[in-house]
Structure 1
Amino acid sequence: MPLFRGGRGVKARGGQRRNMAWMGNSGKTDEDMSVPLLTQLCLLNLADNMKNVWVKDYADNYLDQYHFRHIMGPFNILPGKLVEELTGLLCTRRQLSRAAIHLLLVPQLRGLALDKCPGLVTSALCGHITARCQGLLSLDLSGAQRLPAEVLSETVRCLPALRSLSLAGMHCDRWVIQTIAHCCRSLQHLDVSHCHLLSPVALLPLGGGAFCSSSACPSSSSFCSDPSSSLSAPLPPVPLRSLLALDIGFGGQEGDCEATAAYLLLSLPDLQRVAIEGFTKACCLIDHREFSQTDVFTDREGVPRMNEVWRERRHRQGMDSWGKKKEGVQPGDEEHEDEEEEEKIFWHRNNVECEADTSGDERPSCSVNQKEEKRGGRDLSQSGDERLILRLQDVKGLTCNFLDSVGRLCPNIYSISVNADDPEDTQGRNQGSLLAMGLQTWSGQLRVLSVHFSAPLVDLLPALQVVGSSLVSLTMEGVKTSPRTPLLEVIKSCPRLRDLLISAEPPTMLQEEQYMDQEDNRDLPRLPNLCFLSLNFSYDHNQMKPVMSWKSLKQILKCLLSGSPLLEKLSLVSLPCPLDCVLQDVLCEGTWDRHFSACSTDFPPMPLSRVQHIDTSRTDVKMTTMKNIMQRCKRLKFVNLSFCWQISHLEWLNCKPIKKVEIVWM
């Protein structure tokens, strides 16, 4: 077996560089005055030395001359977790190359994410992955358009230990799904979003039942089963906890999306996170047990009929409830198994950082049945109750209609994404009112809400008042605004927000300059936990600058920026109001506060002191203001000043050497 061994001279130079780097950095701290972890310093040192030491030696002497099945190189002695972190660091810094990834494919690697550099993913690289990293538990190849379905299927077949697989935006087809269903029997997370070669019906093998539909089946050599076994032999469902499959190919016939979604919801008992087409109508179908409508579909696709799957699922739920009651455990306590780990995964996937809280009010603490008792005393252990409860917690792809059915089936949801623009949901009814009524089920427990709502923001306010008290993340897309838009009421309704993202249409009517008196200023809401603020307005490409039609927005922005000391990411794009004066006021207020804080140890941190990412595209900010921000914000890493008409090219050039901050201007 060929080995990769770098020259002694090269290794010596690498050792010298590492020693010099450590000697030069010993005792120093980060720019934000926090001492970096030793592991972080080691990984940064490795990343800095890779290109000119190990990668250069391997690329010059071995990369195109040999085909290694394994490489005995400098990274074999590192734990797999550190190799995974180093790979992610190189991806983030755009330093990962073909030679570097060859060196980092070590047998102890358990997680590999190449979604930030999909151009590196080729058929040859997949061969290296399957040969060297057969113990992979997590693989993310999202966006790799150069990979054909045949190679993808073979790659999946050779990695049976996978628990997480992300193939979003790839050439994934029904044969890849069947390979997954047959070979990846430990898979818990699957993402096939934006796979346009994949129809919703192709997802059926994930739920078990007959292995192939009435359509033609691939050769048995594509699967890891015994070639002599029957391809139509039934399989148990894949133990998925998360299934993401939005924006995939179209179903063959009308109603296929809803029927497929209903079958998967019933046949996958461990699902907690789901994003599939036709979810809302599927919940209505299950809630009303209208399974006869799907008999033609299930017979055509060769899967068990829906009423049989429902009975099996209901029987399993009843047996679990009875078993827990017999053992002296309250019904629903099974939800608490691995609860801490599952919630960490949930918050991480929603980009919401869940901090420890001894009071316990940052996360839902009730089990499914305890929540149901609060809503009417329903208990699944009671005889004669045939109500089915799904374990879903995070749901995307909902519509406003039939939210009552979703609430009855899924009372444990605390993250939801709703499209309130479905034309089938209109029927002359106000979408905001429908949404408010539908969200009543999760009042007091919903943590994450994302809404696409192409109507005035004022119509969305009742829904936010229903669930806003518990929200930590709020996303509103497509909303329309006016100078009288009740943005203050929205903020007041959601006092615990950590993420606030609004993508809106700007006001169309002009408004005279307005100022709020001191009393109103003191009463303006603040979001002390806010970490991510994004206010992005659409604009007319024919205009250089947006129309300043919502000048009262200045006071709201000032209070948000000065009252959010934990803010880390700020995006204010194409604002319909002046921004430069707001930033100047916030900086001046922070300077005064810092002077005052010398006499008070309990004073809050300086505004914008934690910010790392700023985007002020198409606003009136000036370079002098941005210089002040860059000088004061020691954690700042990125600033986007694109199309800021007050900034000239010369000012941008003179500003670049001020600080090690990536500045974008055009």
Structure 2
Amino acid sequence: MRSGTAEAKSEPAGRSLSAWPQGSRWLSSAWTRRPLCSALLSSQMPKRKGVASLSSLCLGSVAQHMQGVWVKDYSENYLDEYHFRYIMGPFNELAGCLVQDLLKQLGESRRLTRAALHLLLVPHLRELSLRACPSLVSNAIAQLVATRCNNLCSLDLHGCSRVSAAALTDLLEGLPLLTGLDLAETQADIRVLSAVGSCCRRLRQLDISGCRRVTPEALLHLAYDPTAHVPCCPALRVLLASGIEPQGRAPDLVGALAFLLLALPSLEVLASSCVMEALCLIHTQCFQDPRATAPPGFPSLKELAQHRQGGQTGGRDAWLTLPLKRVDEVEEPFLTTLCAVCPEAEEVTVALNDGPSACWDSLAWGRLSCLVLHCTGPRGRGLAETVPLVRSLGPRLRSLTLHGFTYDDELSLSALLDSCPSLHTFSTHLCTPAEPPWTPDGDAELHDWAPNLVHHSFPQLQHFSLALSSTQGPLPGQHMAAVLQAPGPVLCHLQELSLAESQVSSSTVRLLLTSDGPLRTLNLVGCRDIHRRDYDQFIRTVQEQQLQLDITWQ
């Protein structure tokens, strides 16, 4: 290994699935008084271990012998004396993607050292993630990255809080090719964001979550350079800025977010708890609001809005729409505003109180495919209230999450599922109402209702989670137990299966182990009908058949 020109001193030292009917088959397990997550099953089950690729075997060997072989000479002779602009050695011949994989292996196994990191910062790296070793990333390491890795397109410094704002600024000014940047939980401040805005014009994704030194005014520099009077980051699509809200939710943060929404033409995701307030400010176009006042050197919100509307003076009749595709933390009364300002929204999280439901049928959900509804009130809402909304979304819905609803209508869950034939993800945590609508004498009347109400086999479903909490004693018969039969040809993508605290039998588990498919994880915790001898037999089967499957039981 030969070292190049010496320049300076070195630095000091899944998918979890719950049982529900699929097509003509009834797949379930007993529900208990505690939350239960069991599973829909697939005919393609545990995947057999494949033969490791030659590259992964070689990288594993290099990682295992990294300290004793590959970095020994550098550690003993160069580490504490100099750092070098480049190092001629074996890692210069390794493809950049393999260098990143090696860094990941060393970081995750906690075998990455300062010397190894020095050697792996090669000039041909296109992606670099240092989140696995934040304690090793210092100002000097940042300087090494800036000196050696000028071709980076993606840089992840998540949690690297040892790097000063000045060092981050110098680093980012030398990386004009970045399209992805993660600065979450770092010392990023207004200087750093100014460097990002003025130098990283190709940036498409930025994470500054948890950066305590980022102020609302600092955010403006991502979208506009007040010195050159030019817009910045025209390609930025995703900006994650949660956890940087000033104490008291200062009004200037709302104005800053509105500025970003108007000034960044490609922005599709803006993660912050004040986004909905900013959207309301834009929708009402109350640009005399104190929150709409921009600092000196920046254009006003009114000027930005007029530019987005093509120079029209407009007013409320001239609708101004934004390309946001994901909006979180939307309160129900503001759904109409959201639909008006963000007609292209695809993912929405809505908080529901205990008040009357909004007229969901009249909302323009043209592209909505991912919906999260959670009840924030103490009483919750009946699951049946969501059926009209889900039916209006129809086959477009790919993901549905419902939390905090009461299971007061035994037909509502089947009605929901029957309205979503294209689901990829379904998750819900239901509670029984304070006064259950069922009686013991009425159990038999509805015993056979479920298999006839769901008419889809959900072939695209990858995640199905169902939890039910009951505080009123055992549930009636039609809700409690059903037979887990041999699975049909559905759910080919199932990877994680939880049958925790269910009445699944050992014969059913053995049936799962005899099939081939992508299942990786099987949770049998708290299953009273599974005993130690059964578990030992399952483990032997996994070993003998070389299944790529982890089974948990106790």
Q: Shorter-chain TM-score: what band?
A: 0.7 to 0.9
Distance 2:88 2:359 in 1: 58
Aligned to 2:519: 611
Aligned to 1:410: 342
Could you tell me how far 1:310 is from its partner in structure 2?
0.9
Letter in 2 for 1:609: G
Q: How does 1:44-59 map to 2 (within 5 A)?
A: 44-59=56-71
Does 1:488 pair with 2:414? yes
Q: How does 1:219-234 map to 2 (within 5 A)?
A: 232-234=227-229
Q: Structure 2 regions of 5+ residues with no counterpart?
A: 5-45
Cα distance change on mapping 1:522 and 1:95 into 2, 3 Å: farther
Does 1:442 pair with 2:365? yes
Cα distance change on mapping 1:429 and 1:548 into 2, 3 Å: closer
Does 1:581 pair with 2:504? yes
| Count of residue pairs the alignment pairs up | 494
SS in 2 for 1:62: helix
Q: How does 1:504-523 map to 2 (within 5 A)?
A: 517=447, 520-521=450-451, 523=453
Letter in 1 for 2:142: C
Aligned to 1:221: none
Of 144, 150, 155, the match for 1:134: 150
Aligned to 2:73: 61
Could you tell me how far 1:107 is from its partner in structure 2?
0.9
Does 1:153 pair with 2:149? no
Could you tell me how far 1:102 is from its partner in structure 2?
3.3
Aligned to 2:31: none
SS in 1 for 2:59: helix
Of 126, 131, 137, the match for 1:110: 126
Could you tell me how far 1:236 is from its partner in structure 2?
1.5
Aligned to 2:231: 236
Deviations 1:529-554 (A, max 9, x none): 222233467899xxxxx986587556
Cα distance change on mapping 1:249 and 1:531 into 2, 3 Å: same
Could you tell me how far 1:33 is from its partner in structure 2?
5.5
Of 297, 306, 312, the match for 1:311: 306
Aligned to 2:257: 261
Structure-2-length-normalised TM-score: 0.75
SS in 1 for 2:184: coil
SS in 1 for 2:323: coil
Letter in 2 for 1:581: V
The answer on whether the counterparts of 2:215 and 2:244 sit within 8 Å (CA) in structure 1 is yes
Of 275, 279, 287, the match for 2:275: 279
SS in 2 for 1:112: strand
Cα distance change on mapping 1:199 and 1:48 into 2, 3 Å: same
Distance 1:311 1:272 in 2: 20
Deviations 1:134-170 (A, max 9, x none): 1111011223344443433333233232111012233
Letter in 2 for 1:398: V
SS in 1 for 2:220: helix
Q: How does 1:490-639 map to 2 (within 5 A)?
A: 490-503=416-429, 517=447, 520-521=450-451, 523-524=453-454, 526-535=457-466, 558=484, 564-570=490-496, 572=498, 578-581=501-504, 585=508, 588=511, 606=515, 609-615=517-523, 620=528, 622=530, 623=532, 626=535, 631=541, 636-639=548-551
Aligned to 2:220: 204
Could you tell me how far 1:269 is from its partner in structure 2?
0.6
SS in 1 for 2:85: coil
Distance 1:277 1:81 in 2: 36
Structure-1-length-normalised TM-score: 0.63
Deviations 1:402-431 (A, max 9, x none): 22222222222222233x05xxxx5x733x
SS in 1 for 2:373: strand
Could you tell me how far 1:266 is from its partner in structure 2?
0.8
The answer on whether the counterparts of 1:97 and 1:120 sit within 8 Å (CA) in structure 2 is yes
Cα distance change on mapping 1:115 and 1:491 into 2, 3 Å: farther
SS in 2 for 1:463: helix
Q: How does 1:241-390 map to 2 (within 5 A)?
A: 241-250=237-246, 254-294=250-290, 297-300=292-295, 302-315=297-310, 386-390=318-322
The answer on whether the counterparts of 1:557 and 1:582 sit within 8 Å (CA) in structure 2 is no
Aligned to 1:399: 331
Higher strand share: 2
Of 121-130 and 561-570, more deviation after overlay is shown by 561-570
Letter in 2 for 1:235: V
Distance 1:155 1:397 in 2: 34
SS in 2 for 1:263: helix
Letter in 1 for 2:461: L
Distance 1:201 1:557 in 2: 60
Cα distance change on mapping 1:585 and 1:151 into 2, 3 Å: same
Cα distance change on mapping 1:300 and 1:273 into 2, 3 Å: closer
Deviations 1:569-624 (A, max 9, x none): 33648x6xx41427754755x69xx8xxxxxxxxxxx5x83211344556657355
Letter in 2 for 1:113: S
The answer on whether the counterparts of 1:138 and 1:165 sit within 8 Å (CA) in structure 2 is yes
Distance 1:176 1:90 in 2: 29
Aligned to 2:3: 3
Of 182, 186, 193, the match for 2:198: 182
The answer on whether the counterparts of 2:74 and 2:115 sit within 8 Å (CA) in structure 1 is no
Aligned to 1:429: 355
Structure of greater relative contact order (alpha carbons < 8 Å, 6+ residues apart): 2
Distance 2:461 2:292 in 1: 48
SS in 1 for 2:206: strand
Could you tell me how far 1:563 is from its partner in structure 2?
6.9
Of 332, 357, 373, the match for 1:451: 373
Does 1:125 pair with 2:125? no
The answer on whether the counterparts of 1:166 and 1:192 sit within 8 Å (CA) in structure 2 is yes
Aligned to 1:173: 189
Does 1:470 pair with 2:470? no
SS in 2 for 1:115: coil
Aligned to 1:21: none
Distance 1:203 1:245 in 2: 9
C-alpha RMSD of matched pairs (Å) = 4.2
Higher helix share: 1
Identity of aligned residues (%): 27
Letter in 1 for 2:65: V
Of 91, 100, 115, the match for 1:84: 100
Could you tell me how far 1:86 is from its partner in structure 2?
4.1
Distance 1:400 1:609 in 2: 41
Distance 2:216 2:370 in 1: 26
Of 83-92 and 166-175, more deviation after overlay is shown by 83-92
